[in-house]
Amino acid sequence: MTHLPLDLAVIGGSGLYQFPGLENATRQSVDTPYGPASGDVVVGDFAGHRIAFLARHGESHTLPPHRVNYRANLWALHDLGARRVVGVNAVGGIRHDMGPRTVVVPDQIIDYTHGRYTSFCDVEGAEVRHIDFSEPYTASLRVALMEAAKRAGIAVIDGGCYGATQGPRLETRAEIARMKRDGCDLVGMTGMPEAALARELELDYACLALVANFAAGCGDEAEISIEEIFAHLAAATAEVPPLLAELLKR
């Protein structure tokens, strides 16, 4: 399949199932060698540029983190002409300054997931590639996001380590304590293998992490409320379109 290059592709996480302000939108169903993506890719115009949007969990949030077909999602966006991808991820805050409604552009990741297809090499006969993953996010795209946030007047934390867990359950206090000792600042369930697959396809990839709650044992709450999580997510998600509009202007 041959398509014109897109200016940006956005993968929406929990709370971001449609992209606000997308005009002249068309839905693209892409056949991939890895099965179906999470849903149709919606392609349209935003801030004077052509972008693609894909809801990682499906538009009705039917796919838990460990059942997302990450390979198909990245392949579909690449096949449609994407070269830059921003993954929007709902996360929990571990570091004291990464509380609810904070937006973070992480620069490192630790993978605690298991049983997921983590590479396009996981197919018989495929070429085995050993990608350099010492810096898991594309530095130039991270910088561009930070600069766009500054122009938009949106407070964003530069850097941090994302710990990717299996889900869909939230973590125990002991698990978060271990992750904190490991150097994690954030915890989420969808950061991997998405970042590594983007690298295999030679896509520029960065993460916008939206903090929905303090992780277990890191805040004052005795119990994490799902209602509060989605209220915090809605507030943080509202920052995404104006930030990406500024990104596209440059």
Residue 230 is labelled as binding a ligand: no
Residue 26 is labelled as binding a ligand: no
Q: What is the pLDDT of residues 116-147, one digit of tens each?
A: 999 998 877 778 889 999 999 999 999 999 99
| Burial (Cβ within 10 Å: 0-12, 13-18, ≥19) of residue 17 | middle
**Alpha carbon distance 41, 159 (integer Å):** 29
pTM: 0.94
Residue 215 is labelled as binding a ligand: yes
Residue 169 is labelled as binding a ligand: no
**Alpha carbon distance 178, 180 (integer Å):** 5
Mean local confidence (pLDDT), 203-217: 96
CB 250 within 8 A of CB 160: no
Residue 73 is labelled as binding a ligand: no
Q: What is the pLDDT of residues 141-185, one digit of tens each?
A: 999 999 999 999 999 999 999 999 999 999 999 999 999 999 999
Average pLDDT, the chain: 94
Q: What is the pLDDT of residue 125?
A: 75
Q: How does residue 226 score in pLDDT terms, banded at 50, 70 and 90?
A: confident
Residue 134 is labelled as binding a ligand: no
pLDDT at 4 over 70: no
Residue 67 is labelled as binding a ligand: no
Residue 213 is labelled as binding a ligand: yes
Domains and CATH numbers, the chain: 8-249 (3.40.50.1580)
